[in-house]
Structure 1
Amino acid sequence: MNKLFKVIVAVLLALSLGTPTAFAHQDHGHGHGKDSLVALGDSIPFGYNLTTNNSSPAKNAFPGLIADEADLRVRNLGVPGWQTTDLLTALETNQKFRQAVRHADYVTVNIGSNDFLEILRAANAESGGNQQKFQELLAFKLANSDVFDNIAAILEEIRSRTDAPIVLYNIYNPFQVNDPLHRVSDLFLPQINAKFAGLADAYDDVELADAYSAFGNNQAKYVIPRDIHPTAAGHKVLAAIGIEAFCFDFVHN
């Protein structure tokens, strides 16, 4: 937690200075006013279950928190249930998504959790309760998944439309510590998240937000009980590491 504490302190210090200098404006030629943050992904950026009816993206989901703290306009395009193929298709064919990205000054991408949960459930169902078979099936399905090809294509599609900095979130462990799936997830998520890091390194102006390390084993605080989505406190952590990632990007430009 030392790193996370330092991140939060840094964010609070930046806020106390009054102006979000880390988010210095890059002119993309689309008028004046506040810069825009476009959030792409699934139910996590949407802020699922932060509100009672989930009728629209939650204002206290991490994209809104980043926007508030950095004085940005936010366009939250997170869609509950989406997998990587859904987001890729939207970026390729949906004018709302394509136009939003084209006019973005900052972009966050949080996608892949539903893909991996589906793989996890399939391996569990096919294993018949055999733990060794379950782990073997899970490893095989992960190795043969097209998730990272999809995420690479998503990053390429975004980059073809804007030179805005992109923050790519990796996957936190969504299971409470006393859930047997917590340990299983911890066996595989480091390998999965290493691929997220590799993708971030492979593209210009793409930085990684390490949700896995930030949440650690603090699911009791950061994940809604009997759920897999972040609590309000969890979203504050996701916002903090997003701000850190954007600031890191500007330091190196």
Structure 2
Amino acid sequence: MNKLFKLFTLTLMASLILPAAVSAEKDNGIKSLVSLGDSIPYGYNLSENNNTPSRFSYPYLIGNDANLRVRDLAVPGWTTEELLHALKEDQEVRQTVNQADYITLSIGSNDLLQALQAAQAISGGEPGLFMPLLQAEIQKRNIFGNIADIILEVRTLTEAPIAVYNVYNPFQTDNPLHRVGSTILPIVNTGFDQLMLHYTNVVIADAFSAFGEEQAELVIPEDIHPTVKGQIKLAEIGLNAFNLD
């Protein structure tokens, strides 16, 4: 609980710091953390509006705890294909990644949600059809092929350590889809584990185990995004993955 309070307090303080302090940090040689991904590392729905990444998102919490300058490049709604395209074509993204000392990667949730929606629509809710269709939809989207290419593209720019977040169950325990998530996500997340066998200095941040069955506390009600406590939990496993805790 002390760790959680420390992270929350540091982030609250950081939100009051003037932007000019960021340039000063860079000049002082402070190391940087670059966050790649979707609405989860963006901190979606934690602020009054979603115009900019939330200072309560886990990249900023990690940065506050480990004294790292943070560049949160996450974009709500992005799929693995969209992030891969940005890494190949967006020069600002490439330059920022090139300067990173640490990188977090959280991507694939939107691909999986699209696969879930497609399987539901095609199966008409028939249980015997749903699971095979879901697996086929996941495969069709080439999620792990894209993630592998993302890591390879990052490696053309930097050798910085990468913490890859797997997928937590976003559905509340009283939602019928929670059981689907509990069934399919352990299988999906083995794909992340298998990817890591092929790379050095790339580690898993196990969001699935960290969230467990605590969605009531860690996931925003009637939403799929983490609460502030959920973001704190993601920050903790990121710090652990980088051996910064």
How many residue pairs get matched? 226
CA distance, structure 1, for counterparts of residue 107 and residue 136 of structure 2: 21
What one-letter code is carried by the residue in structure 1 that aligns with 2:237? Answer: I
**Tell me, what secondary structure is at the counterpart of 1:171?**
coil
CA distance, structure 2, for counterparts of residue 63 and residue 136 of structure 1: 35
Q: Which residue does 2:200 correspond to in 1? A: 204
Which of 103, 109, 130 is matched with 2:126 structurally? 130
User: Any runs of at least 4 consecutive aligned residues in structure 1 with deviations exceeding 2 A, and if so which?
Assistant: 142-145
What one-letter code is carried by the residue in structure 2 that aligns with 1:219? Answer: Q
Which of 68, 71, 76 is matched with 2:72 structurally? 76
1:198 shift after superposition:
1.4
Query: 1:176-230 CA deviation, whole Å, 9 max, x = no partner?
Result: 0111111011111011101111112321100100000000010000000000000
In the alignment, is residue 220 of structure 1 matched against residue 216 of structure 2?
A: yes
1:142 shift after superposition:
2.2
What one-letter code is carried by the residue in structure 2 that aligns with 1:232? Answer: V
Equivalences for 1:230-245 in 2 at 5 Å? 230-245=226-241
What one-letter code is carried by the residue in structure 1 that aligns with 2:99? Answer: H
Gaps of 5+ in 2: 11-25
Gaps of 5+ in 1: 16-29
Query: 1:24-54 CA deviation, whole Å, 9 max, x = no partner?
Result: xxxxxx9752100000000000000000111
In the alignment, is residue 165 of structure 1 matched against residue 153 of structure 2?
A: no
Normalised by the size of structure 1, how large is the TM-score? 0.85
Alpha-carbon contact 2:79-2:109 (below 8 Å) kept: yes
Equivalences for 1:29-178 in 2 at 5 Å? 32-178=28-174
Q: Which residue does 1:19 correspond to in 2? A: none
CA distance, structure 2, for counterparts of residue 247 and residue 192 of structure 1: 25
Normalised by the size of structure 2, how large is the TM-score? 0.88
State the Cα RMSD in Å.
Answer: 2.0
Alpha-carbon contact 1:152-1:199 (below 8 Å) kept: yes
Q: Which residue does 2:179 correspond to in 1? A: 183
